[in-house]
């Protein structure tokens, strides 16, 4: 291509989200690609991870991001209860560069954890957080967002059953739900090792939090991120976090 010719950008499909190294179709998933999934997928500590589990994988976004961030020796399991989402996640994995090491399981995490003999060094989840009865009019979306399908104590205990002693269990939640989960986790024997408070804009209070728990006690690392500066442009911290994934125009 000559220097005078404009660079051709990839055609962006409308049934999902195009990232630099993969595409996530989500038209058959109740929960679409969103900031929370991107946050935990880009942030979750992967150094030294040998085996990773994504609980409630939806379209497969987080599992794909973690596959991009880890070497080829790392195996990733992704469990999803809803049939159409599990099928679409499987298709997204097959179309990705990491099809040979991401395994999608269409199953309830409680049943799957009881049968699973593996132990994981990193477990991630973008879990439901609405109380039952807060309906949106879409049954699949309500199921994906409501703790009626997976309450947080059950999630913590499934993770405890599957995690290695030195492993890490990471979740992303709205700030208020995150505070409640911290109390629940500490009372159930977990130790808070990471807390990443995220605000939509600088100088505003955090509206979501990414948490990392471990069965093993240790220092708690506290961090904060603003996605946008006050002028509404993306912050340098956010751009640094997602630069390997987003196709910024």
139-176 pLDDT, tens digit per residue, is 544 444 444 468 999 999 999 999 999 999 999 999 99
Q: How far is CA 38 from the centre of its chain?
A: 7
**What pTM did the predictor assign?**
0.88
Residue 198, Cβ density class (10 Å: 0-12 exposed, 13-18 middle, ≥19 buried)? buried
SS3 161: helix
Per-residue tens of pLDDT for the chain, all 249 residues: 445 554 445 566 667 899 999 999 998 888 889 999 999 999 999 999 999 999 999 999 999 999 999 999 999 999 999 999 999 999 999 999 999 999 999 999 999 999 999 999 999 999 985 454 445 555 544 444 444 468 999 999 999 999 999 999 999 999 999 999 999 999 999 999 999 999 999 999 999 999 999 999 999 999 999 999 999 999 999 999 999 999 875
Q: How far is CA 86 from the centre of its chain?
A: 15
- If we measure between CA atoms, which residue out of 214, 233, 235 comes closest to residue 224? 235
Angstrom CA distances, 116 to 45, 107, 138, 161, stand at: 23, 12, 32, 9
Give 2-20 pLDDT, tens digit per residue. 455 544 455 666 678 999 9
């Amino acid at each position: 291509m000559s220097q005078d010719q404009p660079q051709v950008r990839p055609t962006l499909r409308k049934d999902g989200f195009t990232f630099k190294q993969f595409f996530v179709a989500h038209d058959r998933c109740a929960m679409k690609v969103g900031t929370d999934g991107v946050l935990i997928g880009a942030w979750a500590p992967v150094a030294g991870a040998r085996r990773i589990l994504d609980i409630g994988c939806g379209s497969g976004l987080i599992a794909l991001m973690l596959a991009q961030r880890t070497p080829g020796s790392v195996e990733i399991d992704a469990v999803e209860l809803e049939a159409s989402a599990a099928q679409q996640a499987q298709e997204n994995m097959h179309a990705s560069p990491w099809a040979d090491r991401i395994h999608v399981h269409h199953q309830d995490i409680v049943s799957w954890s009881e049968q699973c003999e593996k132990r994981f060094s990193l477990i991630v989840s973008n879990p439901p957080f609405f109380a039952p009865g807060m309906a949106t009019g879409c049954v699949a979306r309500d199921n994906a967002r409501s703790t009626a399908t997976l309450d947080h104590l059950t999630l913590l205990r499934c993770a405890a059953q599957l995690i290695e002693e030195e492993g890490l269990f990471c979740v992303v939640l709205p700030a208020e739900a995150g505070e409640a989960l911290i109390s629940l986790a500490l009372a159930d024997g977990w130790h808070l090792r990471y807390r990443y408070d995220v605000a939509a804009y600088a100088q505003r209070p955090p509206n979501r939090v990414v948490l990392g728990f471990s069965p093993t006690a240790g220092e708690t690392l506290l961090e904060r991120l603003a996605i946008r500066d006050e002028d509404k442009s993306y912050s340098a911290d956010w751009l640094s976090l997602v630069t390997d994934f987003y196709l910024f125009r």
